[in-house]
Structures are given as structure tokens and as C-alpha cells.
Chains A and B, each alone.
Chain A
Amino acid sequence: MKIRKILIVDDEQIILSYLEKKFTKLDYSVYLAGDGEEAVKQAFLNNPDIILLDIKLPKLNGIDVCKKLKADERTKNIPILILSARAQASEIKIGIAAGADKYLCKPMSFPDILSEIRAYDNK
């Protein structure tokens, strides 16, 4: 199964808009969330194939979002890729412990992000 629906969570509007434009262009269904609560809401609502999740978020941080989604039956099987500027080993550990499937550090080029998402095709 190919990844078709991507939920992108980031508090930075520029990044959200850029990624929405690029992924839409590549025929992905893109859902956006600017804060943690929205991210959870979107995840339940749209049941995405993969989630690209920032950690530093308003209202509910990425780690808590990840925990919440991984704890819920409906969303626990959705791969979550954390994309964060926090690159410390301890921070990575926390992210993995929260149930994230991959921890990616900013900055990351679009081709790299795309290849990371494509890696989940047929998984």
C-alpha cells in the first residue's frame, strides 16, 4: 500500500504551506495541524497513512501527541515521523520512547523528507 494521506504537524506556517504545496503536487492528500490538539483531532478525523510531527508545538507538544495517538486503537498503527530541531540524544530517546517510528532532525531537505516518507510505502 502506498502512502497517500499525510498529516503534517508544525507550528511554523511557512513549513506547513511549503510541504502542503509540494506533497499535494505529488498527489498526496495532505492534512495540516498547527498545534498538538489540532494534530490529534486531524489524526482521528482523517486517519492519515503517516504523520510528520514536530515536537515544539502550542497547546500539546509533539511527544504528548505521539503518546496519545500511539495509545489509541484507531491511530496506533499510523507511522509517526518526528521532525524536530531538537537533536540531542536524550531528546531523540524521549521521542522514540513516546512511540515515534522515526526521529528526524531539522533541517532536512525536501528530497530527504520525501525519501523518508516513501520508505513507508508498502510497509
Chain B
Amino acid sequence: MIINHPLLGPRDSEEFVYLGSADLIKRPNNWEEDASAEDFYQYQYIRENIAGDHRELWYHEQGDQSWLVVTRNTLSHEILNVELAQDVSREIGRGK
């Protein structure tokens, strides 16, 4: 699979480490919000496991060490969109 890195252009997916669903960005926190043990359980263990377009986190370990949010079809492996995870985080009001 070739991942079109927003800054570095097309890169082989072998340069990356896969983490999982991009929902992992939305970690509950209990210092600003009242996150319950149940919220953490859902976050840590329960997955949408989508058959279709899946937003997921890839880490460019053997490149620029950036985290990317890749939208990839889990039935065809086609990569539809690549964003910097930093930008995605900011859009949902997380990160700086």
C-alpha cells in the first residue's frame, strides 16, 4: 500500500507502524471532563471495526515521525484520504 503523506508525498506503508482506529485520538479525560470508568472501557477495548471506509492512525516511524489519519477501505485496501493527525486533533478541539 502507498500512503500519500501530506508533507512527504507517496511513501510505502512499510515505513509506518499501524496503531488502529482514529477514534483513539478521542481519549476521554477526567481532568477537564467527567469521564467515567465506562468511557475509558469503551475507548480502550470496544471498536467499530468498520467494513468499508475506515479512519485509522499510522505512525511514520521510518520517516518524519508524524502521526497520520489515513482513510482506507478495509474491503479493498484503497487509500482515499491522508491527513496529519495533528490537524485532525485541532479540528475536534484537541491538541495545540
Q: Do they bind each other?
A: no
Interface residues of B (CB under 8 A from A): none
Interface residues of A (CB under 8 A from B): none
